[in-house]
Amino acid sequence: MVTFKIERFNPDVDKAPYFQTYEVAAGKEMSVLEALFYVVENLDGSLAFRYSCRGAVCGSCAMRINGKNRLACQTLLKKLKSPVITVSPLPHLPIVKDLIVDMDHFFKNYEKIKPYLVNNTSAPEKERRQSILERAKIDEMIACILCGACFSACTVAATDKKFIGPAALTKAYRFWADSRDNLGDERLALVAGEHGALRCHTLFNCAEACPKNIVPTYSIQQLKGGLVKCRFSKPAK
């Protein structure tokens, strides 16, 4: 038996979130996500959480488990090495119900950085060539699953509601650094200003939290460098 302390909150009826305790009959290889299913199927059908792939690729199940933002499906109970497991929703995001948070703000920020490849030259008949080295530059960034763990862990994003946040900035870098994209300095303009890349104070919480081992700080630092250079060099057009 493993004890689960799960944060519950239904804004329609509850005034404030509270913790509820469940005893889960844990299998040897059980993940936190499976334990949550155990709860809905056997103990409390009203518990709500998001899920889809159960294989750490879809980004649905990010939540706070024993004090860290993690993917529930990727976190095996045995790795937590703890008889009591505390689960709460991702901090700093509005709670929809129980472990489900409102990701609107997260995706609005994502949309701000024009999250798509822009190339104004006419498309060739075949592929746009890209060398292995050019492709390698964005290898880390394309692994992002938009789970929001980093955004929710970033204290700056929590206090400055306009801060674009690590995930969207990583995306911004992913396109800026893509040799096939030619939006160039305009991409930098999208992450400039008081609440853009420069607002990041290199906390590294994002890197600590990322379940895909991405270091958003790296991308953000490249953008900062770009911003400063572009401010003091003539924008290449």
Partner 1 sequence: MGLHHQVIVVGAGLSGLRAALAAQQDGLDVAILSRVHPVRSHSIAAQGGINASLANAEGGRDDNWEKHAFDTIKGSDYLADQDAVEIMTKEAPGIVYEMEHWGTPFSRTIDGRIAQRPFGGAAFPRTCYAADITGHALLHTMYEKSVKEEIKVYEEYLLLSIVKHDNACVGIVALNINNGEIIAMSADAVIIASGGYGRIYGNSTNALINTGSGMAAAYLSAGVPLKDLEFVQFHPTSLYGTNILITEGARGEGGYLFNNRHERFMKNYAAKAMELAPRDIVARSIQTEINEGRCYNNAYVLLDLRHLGRKKIMERLPGIRDICLHFAGLDPINKPIPIQPGQHYSMGGIDTNANGETSLAGLFAAGEAACVSVHGGNRLGGNSLLDTIVFGKLSGHFASGYVKAKKKNAADQALQAELAKVKAKVSRLENSAGKENPAKVRSELKTTMMEEAGVFRTKAKLEAGLAKIKELKERYKQIHLLSKIKKYNLDLVRNLELEGKLALAEVIVLGALKREESRGSHFRTDYPTRNDEHWLKHTLAHHTESGPRLDYKAVTITRFRPQARTY
Partner 2 sequence: MFDNLKKESVIAYQSGIGMWAFVLHRITGLSLIFYLLLHIVVISTSLKGPQPFNNLLAVLTAPPFVVADLALLAAILFHGLNGARIVIFDTGIGIRQQKLIFWLLLLPAVIIWIMTLYFTLPHIFR
Partner 3 sequence: MKKAALLWLLQRVTAVLIFIVLGVHVYRVHYVELGQPILFAGIAIRLKSLLMLVIDSSLLFFGLFHGLNGLRTVLLDYDFFDRQEKLLSWVLSIIGIIFFILGVKGLWAFIIR
By the 8 A CB rule, do 98 and 11 touch? Answer: no
Which partner from the list partner 1, ligand FES, ligand SF4, none does 14 bind, CB cut-off 5 to 8 Å by kind? none
Sign of CA dihedral 120, 173, 164, 17: positive
Please tell me the distance from the alpha carbon of residue 148 to that of residue 161, in angstroms, as a whole number.
Answer: 15
Q: Per rule CB under 8 A, is residue 156 in the interface with partner 3?
A: yes
Q: How far is CA 169 from the centre of its chain?
A: 11
Q: Per rule CB under 8 A, is residue 51 in the interface with partner 2?
A: no
Q: Which residues bind partner 1 (CB under 8 A)?
A: 10, 12, 29, 40-42, 44-60, 74, 76, 96-98, 100, 103, 111, 114-117, 119, 123, 125-132, 134-135, 138-139, 142-143, 145-146, 175, 178, 180-181, 212
Which partner from the list partner 2, ligand SF4, ligand F3S, none does 74 bind, CB cut-off 5 to 8 Å by kind? none
Q: Per rule CB under 6 A, is residue 60 in the interface with ligand FES?
A: yes
Please tell me the distance from the alpha carbon of residue 33 to that of residue 35, in angstroms, as a whole number.
Answer: 5
Residues 6+ apart with CB under 8 A from 77: 2, 26, 30, 31, 32, 35, 85
**One of 70, 216, 223, 227 touching ligand SF4 (CB under 6 A):** 216
Q: Per rule CB under 6 A, is residue 61 in the interface with ligand FES?
A: yes
Considering only CA atoms, which of 169, 64, 180 is closest in space to residue 106?
A: 169
Which partner from the list ligand F3S, ligand FES, partner 3, none does 71 bind, CB cut-off 5 to 8 Å by kind? ligand FES
Q: Per rule CB under 8 A, is residue 204 in the interface with partner 2?
A: yes
- Cα angle 122, 128, 133 (rounded to 5 degrees) comes to 145
* Strand-strand pairing, 62-65 and 84-88: antiparallel
Which partner from the list ligand F3S, ligand SF4, ligand FES, none does 51 bind, CB cut-off 5 to 8 Å by kind? ligand FES
**One of 10, 52, 155, 182 touching ligand FES (CB under 6 A):** 52
The residue count of the chain comes to: 237
| Cα atoms in the Cβ-side hemisphere of radius 13 Å centred on 184 | 9
Please tell me the distance from the alpha carbon of residue 205 to that of residue 69, in angstroms, as a whole number.
Answer: 10
Q: Interacting stretch for ligand FES, rule CB under 6 A, among 22-30, 46-54, 92-100, 228-236? A: 46-54
Number of residues that bind ligand FES (CB under 6 A): 12
Binding residues (CB under 6 A) for ligand FES: these are: 51-54, 56-61, 71, 73
